[in-house]
Amino acid sequence: MKNAVKISVQQHDFCLADEVSLLEQDNDSDGAVVTFCGRVRNKNLGENIHGLFLEHYPGMTEKSLADIIEQAKQQWAINRVTVIHRIGELKVGEQIVFVGVTSQHRHDAFAANEFIMDFLKIKAPFWKKELTDKGAYWLDARASDQDKAKQWEQ
C-alpha cells in the first residue's frame, strides 16, 4: 500500500475527501499531500459553456497515465499517486480530473503533481467536446499546453 498507484477513468463523480483519506491512510511517513482538482468552467474563448462531453481511448488512456506516473516517480521521491479522470457528459461546475501525490516533503509532491497534470494534458488520449448555446464543438489542442509540458525538459 505504501507506494500504491491508483488510476481510474470513470463516468461517475469522485469525493475529494475520500481520495485524500485514501492517500493518507496507514501512511505516517508522508508529510506532504498535494492534490489538484479540475472542474468544468462556464466560459471558454468567450463562449457560454453549459457542459462538456469527454471521450477517451480505452486501454491506451490507462497505459499513458501509468507511463506518466512512472516518469514522475523516476524524477521525484513520491509515494502514493492517484489519478482520476471522468468521461461522458459533465455539467458546469462538475469535477473532471483529480491528481493526488504524497511524499515526505512538499517540494517533490508539488512538482510531481504539476508534472503529471501537464503531461496528462498533452499525452493522455482524452478529448473534450464543448456543449454551448450555439452547438457542440470539439476543442482544439492549445499550444500553451505543449509549451507548459516542454518546460520540464529544460
Rounded to whole angstroms, the Cα distance separating 151 from 100 reads 21
Is 90 an interacting residue with respect to another protein (CB under 8 A)?
A: no
Pair 5, 66: CB distance under 8 Å? yes
> Which of the ranges 11-19, 69-77, 105-113, 114-122 carries the binding residues for another protein, by CB under 8 A?
114-122
CA dihedral 152, 34, 32, 25 (to 10 degrees): -130
Q: Which amino acid is at 61?
A: T
Is 101 an interacting residue with respect to another protein (CB under 8 A)?
A: no
Is 122 an interacting residue with respect to another protein (CB under 8 A)?
A: yes
Q: Find, among 144, 120, 24, 130, the residue nearest to 80 by Cα.
A: 24
Is 97 an interacting residue with respect to another protein (CB under 8 A)?
A: yes
Closer residue to another protein, CB minimum distance, 5 or 117: 117
Closer residue to another protein, CB minimum distance, 60 or 77: 60
> Which of the ranges 12-20, 71-79, 102-110, 115-123 carries the binding residues for another protein, by CB under 8 A?
115-123
Closer residue to another protein, CB minimum distance, 31 or 70: 70
Q: Pick out residues in 66-85 that bind another protein (CB under 8 A).
A: 85
The residue to which cell 480530473 is assigned: 97
Is 20 exposed, middle or buried, given 0-12, 13-18 or 19+ CB atoms closer than 10 A? middle
Pair 19, 101: CB distance under 8 Å? no
> Which of the ranges 23-31, 72-80, 105-113, 127-135 carries the binding residues for another protein, by CB under 8 A?
127-135
Rounded to whole angstroms, the Cα distance separating 95 from 15 reads 9
> Which of the ranges 11-19, 73-81, 106-114, 125-133 carries the binding residues for another protein, by CB under 8 A?
125-133
Residues found near another protein in the complex (CB under 8 A)? 38, 54-57, 59-60, 63-64, 85, 96-97, 117, 120-129, 138-142
